[in-house]
Amino acid sequence: MRSTALAFSLILTPFCASADMVDDILDQQILPGMETLASTSTTLARAAKADCRSNSTLMRRAYDDAFDAWMMVSHFRFGPTETDNRAFALSFWPDSRGKIPKALSALVRNQDPVINTPEDFATASIAARGFYAMDYLLYNSEITGASTAEYHCNLFQAITADIANTAQLIHNDWQASYADQLRSPGDRYQTEGEVKQELYKALNTGLQVTADMRLGRPLGTFDKPRPKRAEARRSRRSQRHVALSLQALKPLAIALSVDNVALADKFHLTFAKAHKAVERLDDPIFASVADPADRFRVEALQQLVNDIRAIADTELGPSLGVDPGFNSLDGD
Amino acid sequence: MKTLLQTSTALTLFAASTTAAFAADKAAVLTNYSNIAEAKYQDSLTTAKILQSAVEALVASPSAETLDAARTAWIDARVPYQQSEVFRFGNAIVDDWEGKVNAWPLDEGLIDYVDAAYGGPSDENALAALNVVANPTFELSGKTIDASDITPALLEGSLHEADGIEANVATGYHAIEFLLWGQDLNGTDHGAGARAFTDYAAGADCTNGNCDRRGAYLKAATDLLVSDLEWMAAQWATDGDARTALLGDEDAGISAMLTGMGSLSYGEQAGERMRLGLMLNDPEEEHDCFSDNTHNSHYYDGKGVQNVYLGEYTRVNGDVVSGASLSDLVMAVNNDLDAEMRGKLSATMDALGAMKAAADGGFSYDQMLEQGNAEGEALIMGGINGLVDQTQSIERVVTALKLEGIEFEGSDSLDNPSAVFQ
């Protein structure tokens, strides 16, 4: 499907390349990705309804599927994901000040009734909501042990129903209006250039999160590695997230290079290298960062992701004719 | 000062009469920006010196009055400093230095006693409850530190960011704030930290122990703040490094101005400082959490962004520094975009102003953060939405001015092109 679309858009390049570029990214990546996020999240909520024990295979599998789906679209942090802070509610990470265990423990300790209705739970701290709270709750004996079975069960159902609701709202907004805003600039985006800049920023932000946070945070420094900072390490998803993010970002980089064959080739090559490196790693939670003899593998992977970033910065921006713009990672 | 004021008024009139010719003069825009930076750091220094005197008075003769005067001086000192934050991102010399004076958030247990609910050392920070005030010697990364004498050198050299942890904030405004107010234990209820002046009292009147060491810490931190601000004000003087670097490459300089505006508006203020605290319903995420001065910090941060675009700053003494501005540059290429940018900056200030007015009226920022507090959420979200919205226009300004040949730089990969294809 993708190769057909790509070939088709190449044929039309001289006439309306960028319009096809945006359509391709919407139709091949964003819209199906958001649909999968919504459907897998609904399945997760149903699984929690059917079996809400923390060791439930059904719920754990559904959690993995829905979290995978989020990883495939989590770099599209604009428009529908930002309305009502939805992406924050799905994914509060990194949690550098340990807010997730504090928030979950407080709910459990107080048997807080805020979990009783979806409306109330939507006002709860984002530290107690979304996929990263699930990571903690599914695989952390301290919190699961302190909870009464009934409250614990209700908490799983509240979190998963909230995830499903949020994912559905994002999907609905993309379908109902936001895709059209990208296809026909004039309102939120005044020009096609602004649409391209938004998509370019999504690629850059995704690469930055993977290099600096998913890999950089656990790496820490040689003298002070921080393996406990690995993303979603309780459900052993840290390495998987790097692989999924590369898998999600590659087609975006290629699609944005549709008018520049040489650049697209460079992305094919560098993404393939990074992907091979992450596949070979066999270190699900980046425990090796604490081993002076072994951490170079994770460092090398980070370098490969930074190589891709460099190409995006120095070549893709100018090729698209857009500036880097600002993203949520600017600042401290 | 009057001379500068008259000069800038004359420049403004000149600009109005010959907009196009004047607007093209990037050097004039950069000079005015540097003048504003210099004035803001000078004002920060002046107000910090007033704080220094007030702290000396508090430590010399602790009383409710001297403590109150020191707190007032601290709040006044934040007004010019927060307006200077827009110079951080984009000016490496400021960003490299900023952590010494405004690092946040902090694990305050490093410095002094804390409530039992604070907990002890954490996974992230083994020194979270070190309590230097109570401990004349302690172990740090395997070395014994002699802290019998609490000096600026000890705070700056051994304690600040100890163990490589950013939350070990030993210096700057927020360390001083903690020593003046103490922990705010009111959660999302109204009320700031309630440290008693007797925490600085001599002999038997001393509460919570080690009052002499606490006083020494407060004085050392305040002295350090003054010397750090002195240094930064000098960097923006006529031959200062910050000014010279900026004027050395005009296009890069204009880019630095816009980078500061956009990065502070979006990632830093709208994201890290405002939205996260709101979404976590967590008063510990307040920027000025001990003093409950967060509403002013946010307001004056926003004001700083607006200052840079309009090229105008009202000093603490009421004088105005103004001159050629980004607005002039944009007006020359796209009048509508200039109007859009000015309108959005003004809308943000209205929203932040409404939040500030509510807080000044008794609805404090930590109350606004309370779970389910719709009115508070609306006030904070108003500011966030304004900041996010104005960032879109800043991006448009970047694009519009690029037509005039501005090149952007600053990413790691551009600084290190050899990283590509190794």
> Does residue A103 sit at the B interface (CB-CB below 8 Å)?
yes
Give the confidence band of A27 by pLDDT, cuts at 50, 70, 90: very high
Average pLDDT over residues A286-298: 95
Domains and CATH numbers, chain A: 30-184 (1.20.1420.20), 189-324 (1.20.120)
Average pLDDT of the residues in B380-396: 96
Q: Looking at the partner chain, which of A88, A307, A332 has a beta carbon nearest the beta carbon of B275?
A: A88
B415 pLDDT exceeds 60?
no
Residue B226 resides in a domain: no
| Chain A, chain B: beta-carbon pairs less than 8 Å apart | 114
Question: Which residues of chain A does B416 touch, with a Cβ-Cβ cutoff of 8 Å?
Answer: 310
Cβ within 8 Å, pair B421-A228: no
pLDDT at A96: 85
Total of domains in chain B: 1
For the stretch B9-30, pLDDT in tens is 333 433 343 444 444 599 999 9
Residue B422 has pLDDT above 60, yes or no: no
Q: Give the minimum alpha-carbon distance from A121 to chain B in angstroms, rounded to a whole number.
A: 10
Structure tokens at A299: 């460092």
- DSSP notation for A270-298: HHHHHHHHHHHH--TT-GGGG-TTTTHHH
Portion of chain B with pLDDT greater than 90, in percent: 77
SS (H, E, C) B151-171: CHHHHHHHHCCHHHCCCCCCC
pLDDT for B6 beyond 50: no
Q: Is B367 domain-assigned?
A: yes
Domain annotation covers residue B415: no
- Contacts A322 to B, Cβ<8 Å: 399
Q: Residue B175 above 50 pLDDT?
A: yes
- pTM, entire model: 0.88
Other CB atoms within 10 Å distance of the CB of residue B38? 21
Nearest to B103 by CA among B5, B9, B51, B177: B177
pLDDT tens per residue across span A299-311: 999 999 999 999 9
Probe site for chain B from A224, A228, A326, A327 (most B CB atoms < 10 A)? A326
pLDDT score of A315 more than 50: yes
A37-77 pLDDT per residue, tens = 999 999 999 999 999 998 899 999 999 999 999 999 999 99
Return the percentage of chain B with pLDDT > 70, whole number: 89
| pLDDT for the residue A18 | 54
Interval B178-199: pLDDT, tens: 999 999 998 889 989 999 999 9
Tell me how many degrees the CA angle B320-B322-B327 measures, rounded to the nearest 5.
Answer: 135
A interface test, pick of B118, B399, B418 with most A CB neighbours within 10 Å? B399
Q: What local confidence, expressed as pLDDT, does residue B125 receive?
A: 84
Whether residue B191 lies inside any domain: the answer is no
Q: Is the pLDDT of residue B238 over 70?
A: yes
pLDDT for res A144: 59
The pLDDT of residue B172 is: 97
Q: Of A157-166, A260-269, B124-133, B151-160, give the lowest mean pLDDT range.
A: B124-133
Per-residue pLDDT, B119? 80
Nearest-angstrom CA–CA distance, A104 and A108? 6
Q: What average pLDDT score do residues B151-156 get? A: 95
A327: pLDDT confidence band, cut at 50, 70 and 90? confident
Domain with B272, as residue range(s), is 2-91+234-402
Residues B305, B261: contact at Cβ < 8 Å? yes
Domain-embedded: residue B216: no
- DSSP states of A8-71 as a string? HHHHHHHHHHHHHHHHHHIIIIIHHHHHHHHHHHHHHHHHHHH---TT-HHHHHHHHHHHHHHH
Average pLDDT, chain A: 91
For B267, the closest of A85, A92, A328 (CB atoms) is: A328
Which residues of chain A lie closer than 8 angstroms to B268, CB-CB?
Answer: 330-332
B113 phi and psi, to 5 degrees?
Answer: -65, 150
pLDDT of B392:
95
Residue B24: the pLDDT is: 57
Q: What are phi and psi of A77, to 5 degrees?
A: -90, 70
Look up the CATH number of the domain holding residue B259.
1.20.1420.20
Looking at residue B60, what is its pLDDT? 97
CB contact under 8 A, B263 and A120: no
Three-class DSSP category at B46: helix
The secondary structure of chain B in percent helix, strand, coil, rounded to multiples of 5, reads 65, 5, 30
Residues 50-89 of A with CB under 8 A from B: 82, 85, 88-89
Chain B positions touching A327 (Cβ under 8 A) are 266-267
Percent of chain A with pLDDT over 70: 92
Per-residue pLDDT, B179 = 98
Q: Is the pLDDT of residue B61 over 60?
A: yes
Q: What is the mean pLDDT of residues A12-29?
A: 74
Residue B160's pLDDT is 93
- In this structure, how many other beta carbons lie within 10 angstroms of the beta carbon of residue B21? 11
Q: How sure is the predictor about B51, in pLDDT bands with cuts at 50, 70 and 90?
A: very high
Which chain A residues have a beta carbon less than 8 Å from that of B413?
A: 306, 309-310, 313-314
Tell me if B309 is assigned to some domain. Answer: yes
Q: pLDDT-derived band of residue B391, with 50, 70 and 90 as boundaries?
A: very high
Task: Name the helix (H) or strand (E) containing B145.
Answer: strand B143-146
Quote the pLDDT of residue B122: 74
Interchain CB contact of A105 with B (< 8 Å): no
Contact residues on chain B for A324, CB-CB shorter than 8 A: 408, 411
Give the model's pLDDT for residue A234.
94
Chain A residues within 8 A of B391 when measuring between CB atoms? 326
Q: Residue A141: pLDDT band by 50, 70, 90 thresholds? A: low
Angle at B107 between CA B101 and CA B109, to 5 degrees: 115
For residue B285, the model assigns a pLDDT of 84
Residue B320: strand pairing partners? B314
User: Quick one: pLDDT band at residue A10, thresholds 50, 70, 90?
Assistant: very low
pLDDT band at residue A19 under the 50/70/90 scheme: low
Q: What is the pLDDT of residues B297-330, one digit of tens each?
A: 999 999 999 999 999 999 999 999 999 999 999 9
